[in-house]
A and B are shown apart, each in its own frame.
Chain A
Amino acid sequence: MGSRASTLLREEEIEEIKKETGFSHSQITRLYSRFTSLDKGENGTLSREDFQRIPELAINPLGDRIINAFFPEGEDQVNFRGFMRTLAHFRPIEDNEKNKNPTASEPLNSRTNKLLFAFHLYDLDRDDKISRDELLQVLRMMVGVNISDEQLGSIADRTIQEADTNGDNSISFNEFIKVLEKVDVEQKMSIRFLH
């Protein structure tokens, strides 16, 4: 128990996380126990190997990218705050939040931020555009090995053609938002975190 004492969650931390992410007390404690169960090294942070140990994630086509999304630029460890910050994107949007103070910064789980999270999964080099190559990489991951490069290329071309409005042969964030305007992102990118 001694080594774990330093990793126990303090009340102030819970309050801070609550303010930053909007999760409720019980949700934070529940996710904390999940965090600790994943943290085999018991040092209060998760490494990439900890994530890769989850079996279902290994067969997920986007597994690696999702794992990367948790780690901030260049770092190899993520603490509980970072873990919660990433998961906050998937919190369902609540009605009362829509009427909140307009001057306050946008909550992490707003529609735009959800889409931005997804956009960054495509856009690895962070140049704010999904280029043809980046799109091809994602398509290749989702589609498997049976499809030829040319066929995948045509699909990528067509996708960019449909979305591209300013003719730069890549998809910017605004174009990305536009093509997904008919998709119910609020529901699709939300997980019901049981209270």
Chain B
Amino acid sequence: MGHYVVLWCVSAFHRTGHVCRGDSTTHRKAFPVLSFNYDHVKTPFEISLWILLALLMKLGFHIIPRVSSIVLESCLLIVVGLLIGGIIKAIKQTAPVLDSKLFFLYLLPPIILDAGYFLPIRPFTENMGTILVFAVVGTLWNAAFIGGMMYGVCQIEGAQLGHVDLLSCLLFGAIISAVDPVAVLAVFEEIHINELLYILVFGESLLNDAVTVVLYHLFEEFSHAGIVTVGDAFLGVVCFFVVSLGGVMVGTIYGILGAFTSRFTSHTRVIEPLFVFLYSYMAYLSAEVFHLSGIMSLIACGVTMRPYVEANISHKSYTTIKYFLKMWSSVSETLIFIFLGVSTVAGPHAWNWTFVIFTVILCLVSRVLGVMGLTYIINKFRIVKLTKKDQFIVAYGGLRGAIAFSLGFLLTNNEMKNMFLTAIITVIFFTVFVQGMTIRPLVELLAVKKKEESKTSINEEIHTQFLDHLLTGIEDICGHYGHHHWKDKYDAYVKRWLIVGERSTEPQLISFYNKMEMKQAMMLVESGSAAKLPTLMSAATLHRRAIPSISKSREEEIRKILRANLQKTRQKLYSYRRHDLVMDPFEDNVSEIRFRRQRAEMEKRVSSNTVIEFVNISSVEVQEISKCLCDCTW
């Protein structure tokens, strides 16, 4: 054994000696304590740096209050992008451009998913007809008008635009005609307009994706082929239906899968949010594989999945989903606008006064004409008509954004591409800066109805359901198969499959009421104030006047309701497992102290209150109630 060690040592020394002898002329390198290796982390480092920069900018805007009240956030971000682009150009580096792949695969989906998941369904389905007409017919009109008129403009002598043929113009019209959901969201979010107008413009911007996709591919194919036959045009129409309905179908399938999966996640709550995100993203990507409308697929998935997933998942998962979606969409939006600014400075430009100016004017004109004409037709079929003010806001809110830019970027490289890109950027800048910034004062000026910031009361919930049943009944009496009839049928059959266990039979009213009670109980525990407690008490005292023995049973029922809803969480606090959400043991002690203090305070406040109403409730009952409230910790 010993020889081997010696032999090994000798050979080791021999080796090093060999090396030393070989390198005796060069200085032996010292062991590097600190070294610089940037290439290794280059990509993630740069990405993180960009995102961090974007978010710091966003933070900065909100710290300076005056700026954010006058100028829109999206405008500021574009300006920042311009500055950064300028800096990068000055130091002669290549700037990262708003690559189409990056945009369509990574930046756009979070925004659309966020919008689709939280889409207010009722106004959306009630106005579906109007939205579809605006989205389909409106976009087609825009594309045709702009494309055709631009071709006419190009024929003007002296504009040096003779080389632009009809198909290219139509292609350009198709790209620039679509209202952009990102821009609409960014602007409308800040003006708090009423729900109807919001859903009209936003719904249109989502649903016109199918039209844009079809028109874009159609004209692109045609401009390569050179000759268009009637058969091709017919195929285009068929393609439109396939793209839109196919996208919706793909989205619905994934949505149902997601809802079904969420039925079984009661033991692995931690990964619940991931299912929502991944199924939705897969829906988007699958639709893109077949050149179907990815946006419609994503919306369909979110809309389908939401009611069932929310019934099945835990409260924490719901909060997680909400916050992650908002976070990602916020980051995406910020990045998009900054990159738009950077690409403007970086990209090759071909400025042509005639082309650009006419594009901007025609966009406005076609939008106004389109909205007015369509509203005239639509109002014949609507119950609640659209007023002139509504029409104005819808027309003015037709903003173009990054989707148009990315589609333009995808065009094959030819001499017209740069000119198109320049025009597109100008239109985007015009709509975002001019229209975006002036829409807020205009909304104030025209006194357009704003969104009402208030939570639904239980009265509204009850009476709305009551009216639903009433309307269904009246529709049945008239033999009229309307909205309510189909909704009822759908609800009856589908709910059984997708909601876990007994929750599927729980009436909506009860779950709504339970949610409200839970919220109130949580507020009580967190604030420790007795201000809310009186409402429970006074109702009990009212009963006291009528029937003396109710107060005990009332207390019993409060406890039962709370326990029934909050019981589930208690079991989780006892065993430690890595993939479970467990309360921090340190936190436990701290909160225990806090609760004891709060309880004492509550008792003190209640007992010292000399209002007559409290006299009838004994301190024992107060203790019992506060104990069961404090027992349940989130």
- Per-residue CB contact flags for chain B residues 450-494 toward chain A (1 = under 8 Å, else 0) read 001010011110111111111111111111101001000000000
A5 to B441, CA, bound (A): 65
Whether the Cβ atoms of B458 and A186 lie closer than 8 Å is no
B557 within 8 A of A: yes
Using CB atoms, name the residue of chain A closest to B535: A161
B561 within 8 A of A: yes
Give the interface size bracket for B toward A. 35 or more
Q: If the complex has contacts A57-B473, A155-B513, are A192 and B464 also in contact, measured as CB distance less than 8 A? A: no
Which residue, A90, A121, A142, A186, has most C-beta atoms of chain B within 10 A?
A142
Whether the Cβ atoms of B462 and A191 lie closer than 8 Å is no
A157 to B457, CA, bound (A): 13
- The residues of B that contact A143 with a CB separation of less than 8 Å are 507, 509-510
Q: If the complex has contacts A66-B473, A155-B458, A162-B459, are A189 and B513 also in contact, measured as CB distance less than 8 A? A: no
Which residue, B462, B557, B560, has most C-beta atoms of chain A within 10 A?
B462
Q: If the complex has contacts A180-B463, A192-B383, are A154 and B558 also in contact, measured as CB distance less than 8 A? A: yes
A51 to B560, CA, bound (A): 41
Point out the residue from B459, B473, B509 that lies within 8 Å of A60, measured CB to CB: B473
B539 within 8 A of A: yes
A130 to B629, CA, bound (A): 32
A179 within 8 A of B: yes
A75 to B473, CA, bound (A): 21
A188 within 8 A of B: yes
A97 to B469, CA, bound (A): 27
A100 within 8 A of B: no
Using CB atoms, name the residue of chain A closest to B556: A150
Using CB atoms, name the residue of chain A closest to B485: A56
Task: Return A113 CB to nearest CB of chain B, in Å.
Answer: 14
- The residues of B that contact A194 with a CB separation of less than 8 Å are 480
- Per-residue CB contact flags for chain A residues 137-160 toward chain B (1 = under 8 Å, else 0) read 011001110110011011101110
A54 within 8 A of B: yes
Task: Return B554 CB to nearest CB of chain A, in Å.
Answer: 8
Q: If the complex has contacts A180-B463, A191-B482, are A57 and B469 also in contact, measured as CB distance less than 8 A? A: no
A112 within 8 A of B: no
A147 to B457, CA, bound (A): 21
Whether the Cβ atoms of A182 and B452 lie closer than 8 Å is yes
A87 within 8 A of B: yes
A182 to B539, CA, bound (A): 26
A161 to B557, CA, bound (A): 17
Task: Return B184 CB to nearest CB of chain A, in Å.
Answer: 23
- Per-residue CB contact flags for chain B residues 556-581 toward chain A (1 = under 8 Å, else 0) read 11101100000000000000000000
- The residues of B that contact A90 with a CB separation of less than 8 Å are 471, 474
Task: Return A72 CB to nearest CB of chain B, in Å.
Answer: 17
Task: Return B196 CB to nearest CB of chain A, in Å.
Answer: 9
A139 to B458, CA, bound (A): 12
Task: Return A189 CB to nearest CB of chain B, in Å.
Answer: 6
Whether the Cβ atoms of A118 and B467 lie closer than 8 Å is yes
Chain A interface residues (CB < 8 Å from chain B): 31, 34, 37-38, 51, 54, 56-57, 60-63, 66, 87, 90, 92, 95, 118, 121-122, 138-139, 142-144, 146-147, 150-151, 153-155, 157-159, 161-163, 169, 176, 179-180, 182-194
5 CB-based A-B contacts, threshold 8 Å: A60-B469, A62-B469, A154-B557, A176-B463, A188-B471
